[in-house]
Amino acid sequence: MMEAYVALEGGHVLEGRGRAEGTARGELVFTTAYTGYEESLTDPSYEEQILTFSYPLIGNYGVREERFEDDRIHPRAAVAKEFTDDIVDWFEREGIPAVDHLDTRDVVTDIRDGGAMKCGIAVGEDVTEEDALEQLEQCKAMSDHTDIGAQVSVDDPEVHGADNDGETVALIDCGAKGSIISSLLERDATVHVFPYDAAVEDVEAVDPDLLFISNGPGDPVNFGQAISLVEAFVEDTPVAGICLGQQIVAEALGGTTEKMTFGHRGVNQPVLDLESGQVVMTTQNHGYTVAEPGEHLEITQINVNDDTPEGIDGIEYDVITRQYHPEANPGPHDTLDFFDDVLAMASGRADTQAVPADD
How far apart (Å, rounded) are the C-alpha atoms in residues 24 and 9?
Answer: 14
Which residues are registered as beta bridge partners of 292?
256
Q: Is 243 a catalytic residue?
A: yes
165, amino acid identity: D
Strands (E) located in the chain: 2-8, 13-20, 22-31, 49-53, 57-58, 77-79, 82-83, 98-100, 117-124, 158-160, 168-173, 190-195, 210-213, 239-242, 256-273, 279-292, 297-303, 309-314, 319-322
* CA atoms 190, 194, 196, 198: torsion sign: negative
Contact 326, 338 (CB under 8 A): yes
Which residues make up each annotated binding site for L-glutamine? Answer: 45, 216, 218, 244, 247, 285, 287-288
CA distance 313 to 321: 6
Could you tell me which of 145, 162, 174, 140 has the C-alpha nearest to residue 70?
A: 174
First to last CA, the chain: 81
Residue among 39, 174, 243, 286 flagged as catalytic: 243
Known binding-site residues equal 45, 216, 218, 244, 247, 285, 287-288
- Residue 327 annotated in active site: yes
CA 316-318-320 angle, 5° bins? 115
Has 325 been annotated as catalytic? yes
Number of helices (H), then strands (E), in the chain: 10, 19
Give me the active site residues, please: 243, 325, 327
